[in-house]
Amino acid sequence: MADERTTAARRQAGQAMLRPATAAMTPKEMLGVLRRHMLLIILLTIIGLLAGGATCWALRTKLPKYTASAFIEVLPPVQTDPMEISTPMVQRDIKYGYRLSIANMIKQQGTLEDLLKRDAVKATNWFKSINGLPKQVRYLDKYLGAVANRDADYVEVSMTCRDAKEAADIVNEMVAMFIDSQTNRKQAEVAGKLAELKTRQSRVQEDLRVAEKALDDVRTAWQLTDLAMPVSNYRKHTITLKLDQLELQKSDLEIAIRQLEADIGIYSDLAQGPISVQIQNIIETDPVMLALKQQLNFTEATLAGLLAKFGENHREVRQLEELKDEIKMRWDIRAGEI
């Protein structure tokens, strides 16, 4: 039995080894196959084109397709004299942090809700197609972008929706609304400073009037008319010395009045004319407050390093101190708004 099995296995192995190799298809045979299946190939091509067109149409109809962008230029966050033409030198990281705070202000929920209240946005088909304020806010939070450019002084605002014109209209409306709000806020700050300066001017003028009246009373009571020609400081009368002091005070008050008038003129021009955009959750979770806090910490750390290196009178140290005061003022304003 064992010999028969061995013989059969060898016979099968020999037959397998003697099988001829499979021949490859010649170009003529391949052409024949293509001719026999030409109709199937054309039909499948047409079906693929129809399926691709239908899919493209469905995606174009159901999903956002068009994106519109706009750019807001953000000037360096330092206070400069408007009467002087100069380019302020600010560190790159500080400027980027300032642009980042402006982008966070654009993306916060209150700004998006204010955008939805605009008549131009309400008139769009996008606004009508989404029912309910929460859904509209979520859509804007997802498809309305505000990105701070690290290498350029711009904040990019973009919007994606089904209609290209409506996307551009929404972006333009957001940019116009944000610029108007920032302009109104800055004009209110300048108007407040102008009112304060006018109050100080009134007080100085009143002090000057009282001093002049007291000086006239002394001159009339004592009939002193030669106070302008003293012989010597050692031979002056006590009243003469007092009058000299009053004259000096009068001169100082006149100088202060001229300075206040110059400051009032500058702030009046700022309040009446256009102001460039100086593009800064609840106190603990508000993104604007967090960005301002990070910017303040970074500025204080940088200021400490520069103070140790250059001293208090260096130009960069003074600029950082001004920036620190500006950030603190924005912090107080934002805290009051919350």
pLDDT single digits (tens) 180-201: 998 898 899 889 999 999 999 9
Pair (177, 291) in one structural domain: no
Pairing relationship of beta strands 144-148 and 66-73 according to DSSP bridges: unpaired
Is the pLDDT confidence value at 130 over 90? no
Residue 273 scores a pLDDT above 80: no
Tell me which residue range forms the domain holding 326: 286-337
Instruction: Please count the structural domains in the chain.
Output: 2
What the block records as the tokens of 46 is 């047409």
Residue 234 DSSP class: G
> Among the three residues 131, 160, 186, which one is the final residue of a domain in this structure?
186
- For residue 30, being part of any structural domain is answered with no
> Which residue among 186, 202, 222 closes a domain?
186
**Which range among 27-36, 43-52, 216-225 shows the weakest confidence by mean pLDDT?**
216-225
User: Which residue carries 């993306």 as its tokens?
Assistant: 107
**239 located within any domain:** no
d(CA 134, CA 116): 11
Q: CA-CA distance, 19 to 15, in Å (whole number)?
A: 7
Q: What percent of the chain has pLDDT over 70?
A: 76
Instruction: Say yes or no to pLDDT of 65 above 60.
Output: yes
140 within domain boundaries: yes
Query: Residue 105 domain-assigned?
Result: yes
> Residue 112 falls within a domain, yes or no?
yes
Residue 225 lies in a domain: no
CATH of the domain at 121: 3.30.1890
Name the phi and psi angles at 156, rounded to 5: -90, 125
**Band of pLDDT at residue 295, cut at 50, 70 and 90:** confident
13 pLDDT tier (thresholds 50, 70, 90): very low
Which CA distances in Å does 83 have to 46, 263, 319? 71, 11, 18
Domain boundary among 123, 158, 186: 186
Is 123 inside any structural domain? yes
Q: Is residue 6 part of a domain?
A: no
Mean pLDDT, the chain, as a whole number? 78
